[in-house]
A and B are shown apart, each in its own frame.
Chain A
């Protein structure tokens, strides 16, 4: 079984400041890792994904994440946030088996960008 832990339920941050959202996972097999963003009253939108290769992954809207296998982490970062980045962010893991591939989500981190 796999699980995802997002260590911070809320992160307040000032506009133009950097932000890091932490995500740790556990799994007995190789995994794929994802970050999704959910704006108010909307569905989830894929920000970025790690499938293989380079451990630094760049996504949309200036976000990036780093896969660290030894620490089983996949932290999300943005060097300078905008008001429009106010949203909830979800880390997710998918097992690396063709028969499965369902997504298991963390509890989410709510980011509030202040002017």
Chain B
């Protein structure tokens, strides 16, 4: 089965450090999402891309977060500087938006900022 690959699976970092999370979407999918999951807020949409172009990043704190798709096989989410409140599980998902068959999620990156 095709899958969305996220790296790293776990990351522990100190406050103030830069964190980069990577996602390899399923080959051929034209839409990529970044979600954040916390106990308090549940699943929050941070940003999403269509054909590598950013469509909506209104859910992302702009001063410290950035999301990019340098090519069709890689999406990145960066946090600089990281803060303890950024501790969460970050999920990437990909799919075909126009067909709305549902999206395939990666296993997530569990980020802990100490």
Query: Do A and B come from the same complex?
Result: yes
Is B107 part of the binding interface, using a Cβ–Cβ cutoff of 8 Å? yes
Report the contact-size class of chain B (Cβ under 8 Å from the partner): 20 to 34
Q: Is the CB of B107 within 8 A of A51?
A: no
Q: Is the CB of A102 within 8 A of B43?
A: no
Q: Is the CB of B101 within 8 A of A103?
A: no
Q: How many angstroms from the CA of A36 to the CA of B108 in the assembled complex?
A: 15
Which of B31, B42, B104, B108 is in CB contact (< 8 Å) with A105? B42
Contact A49:B42 (CB < 8 A) given known A101-B97, A103-B33: no
A25 to chain B, nearest CB (A): 15
Number of interface residues of A (CB under 8 A): 23
B45 to chain A, nearest CB (A): 6
Is A34 part of the binding interface, using a Cβ–Cβ cutoff of 8 Å? yes
Is A86 part of the binding interface, using a Cβ–Cβ cutoff of 8 Å? no
Q: Is the CB of A32 within 8 A of B100?
A: yes
Q: Is the CB of A43 within 8 A of B105?
A: yes
- Inter-chain contacts of A103 with B (CB < 8 A): 33, 45, 93, 103
Contact A34:B42 (CB < 8 A) given known A42-B107, A102-B33: no
Which of A43, A49, A106 is in CB contact (< 8 Å) with B102? A49
Is A83 part of the binding interface, using a Cβ–Cβ cutoff of 8 Å? no
In A30-54, which residues have CB < 8 Å from any B CB? Answer: 32, 34, 36, 42-46, 49, 51
Q: Is the CB of B105 within 8 A of A45?
A: yes
In B40-67, which residues have CB < 8 Å from any A CB? Answer: 42-43, 45, 48, 55-56
Known contacts A32-B100, A104-B45; 19 additional CB pairs below 8 A are: A36-B102, A42-B107, A43-B107, A43-B108, A44-B91, A44-B105, A45-B105, A46-B102, A46-B103, A49-B102, A90-B43, A96-B100, A102-B33, A102-B55, A103-B33, A105-B42, A106-B42, A108-B42, A108-B43
